[in-house]
Amino acid sequence: MRFMIIVKATKDSEAEVMPIGPAWEPLFAEMAKYHEELQRAGVLLDASGLQPSSKGWRIKYSGGKRTVTDGPFTEAKELVAGYTLIQVKSREEALEWTRRFPNPALEDCEIEVRQLYELDDFGPSESVERFRKLDLA
Amino acid sequence: MTSDTHRAIDAVWRIESAKVIAGLARIVGDVGLAEDLAQDALVAALERWPESGVPDNPGAWLMATAKHRAIDQLRRGKLLDRKHEQLGHELEALQRSPEPDLHAALDDHVGDDVLSLIFTACHPVLATEARVALTLRLLGGLTTEEIARAFLVPKATIAQRIVRAKRTLAAARVPFEVPRGAELAGRLASVLEVIYLVFNEGYSATAGDDWVRPALCEDALRLGRILAELAQQEPEVHGLVALMEIQASRLRARVGPSGEPILLLDQDRGRWDHLLIGRGLAAL
């Protein structure tokens, strides 16, 4: 089963503060060490940091209309700044790995963990099949 | 005991057991003894952690506890002579060095130790099926029961296979190390064979009613990824991981809704896993 560790945005990440310099060094080293451990344990699938919401956009759907809104967006805690995707044997194993996730910021912040749907989670039906394709497209 | 803590301990074991067993094997020179010591530490954790909570560094806790068990055994004269001296040195160092240094020292060794454990569990002196069982047990963190279920054989058969494998390794005095030079190629082939065999059994099951058993494929992939990280300079390892990632990407498209096999040309490509395809190509 796969889990996504979602790192929530902070003021720094939204302000595009690059994590370089002496203050960031210990944090960066810990993050590298943690991901090395994931890799050595064969559970790491993917990981990336996301650029700030000021460089992104949203598309809102309402009554058949779609509207594009450019970033930045407020409420940093509701934005995503990065993710780490892992594949493990059990929910408990995921919990244990995520308990060890280093603090990803120099300020207060949080990470959120969500399990990915596997295709087996859905019963067989034609519309589910179509959703699956959308999902993977 | 709460079952939550129990499951947490299972998870810790799955994450830490290979590292702990490997670290101990380096010290005591015997994989079987190392696993016994690690199991003792696990039992201690099962007794202790439900009350105290899971420690901040559970791997170091298990390792320290196992080493203390080793000292106890040493005192009771249960260890073989040839191990005494080595163990004595290690334990002295353990008592001398302050905790953080010890952790750093252990960290330095971890990669090599785990790699040594892979090569030992897959040693050609063992029959292929013994190598498979021992590797899943020592490196995959699977219980004897889980291995038995995966290969659809009685639990006693797997238990017996593992006991015999450990005895064979001890009798042959297989050194706990990563083979070098001319020996490496042959030994590596022996490891890759085990990993691919586990993968294949999951990918096109030879026994049982299921056409595929994805959990075994995932176990093999995990082993392959570990090996690829620890033996980065070996192209054959990356080749195997690439092959497995790409084959596994089609895993979910290989069976229809009622479990019937679907051949490659008839597969719905939308059901292929593009992340794994990407990983497979990257491994090449």
Per DSSP, the three-state class of B115 is helix
* Confidence grade of residue B101 (pLDDT, cut at 50, 70, 90): very low
Instruction: Note the pLDDT of residue A112.
Output: 96
B110 neighbors B178 (Cβ within 8 angstroms): no
- Tens digits of per-residue pLDDT, B196-225? 999 988 887 666 666 677 888 889 999 999
B216 in any annotated domain: yes
| The total number of structural domains that make up chain A | 1
When pLDDT is cut at 50, 70 and 90, the band that residue B91 belongs to is: low
pLDDT in tens, A102-131: 999 988 899 999 999 876 676 677 776 776
Contact state of A124 with B279 under an 8 Å Cβ cutoff = no
The answer to whether residue A46 neighbours chain B at the CB level (below 8 Å) is yes
Averaged pLDDT for residues B127-136 = 94
Give residue A135's pLDDT.
44
pLDDT bin (cut points 50, 70, 90) of residue B102 is very low
Of B12, B230, B252, the CB nearest to A96: B12
Find the CATH number of the domain harbouring A57: 3.30.70.1060
| Among A4-8, B95-99, B147-151, B269-273, the least confident range | B95-99
How large is the ipTM? 0.72
Distance of CA A110 to the CA centre of its chain: 11
Phi, psi for residue A67 in degrees, rounded to 5: -125, 130
Question: Is pLDDT above 70 for B97?
Answer: no
Instruction: Report whether pLDDT(B81) > 60.
Output: no
Give the pLDDT band (50/70/90) at residue B45. very high
Q: Do A42 and B224 touch (CB under 8 A)?
A: yes
Domain membership of residue B266 as a residue range: 183-284
Least confident stretch, A28-42, B89-103, B170-184, B222-236: B89-103
Write the DSSP assignment of B245-279 as a string of letters.
Answer: HHHHHTGGGSB-TTS-B--GGGS-GGGS-HHHHHH
pTM above 0.80, yes or no: no
To the nearest whole percent, how much of chain B has pLDDT over 70? 76
Instruction: Name the residue among B10, B230, B270 with its Cβ closest to that of A40.
Output: B230
Does some domain include residue B197?
Answer: yes
B257 and A124: CB-CB below 8 Å? yes
Q: What's CA A74's distance to the chain center, in Å? A: 18
Long-range contacts of A98-103 (CB under 8 A, 24+ apart): A98/A3, A98/A5, A100/A34, A100/A37, A101/A5, A101/A34, A102/A27, A102/A30, A102/A31, A102/A34, A103/A27
Supply the pLDDT for residue B98.
47
The total of other beta-carbon atoms located within 10 Å of residue B273's CB is: 20
Helices (H) and strands (E) in chain A, counts: 4, 6
**Contact list, A46 vs chain B (CB under 8 Å):** 275, 279
CA distance B244 to B277: 10
B169 vs B71, higher pLDDT = B169
pLDDT of residue B71: 80
Question: Would you call B8 an interface residue with chain A, using a CB distance cutoff of 8 Å?
Answer: yes
- The residue segments making up the domain with residue A90 are 2-136
Does B225 sit within 8 Å of A42, measured CB to CB?
Answer: yes
If one counts the domains in chain B, the total is 1
CB contact under 8 A, A42 and B229: yes
Q: Which residues of B touch A43 (CB under 8 A)?
A: 222, 225
Parts of chain A with a pLDDT under 70: 119-120, 122-123, 128, 131-137
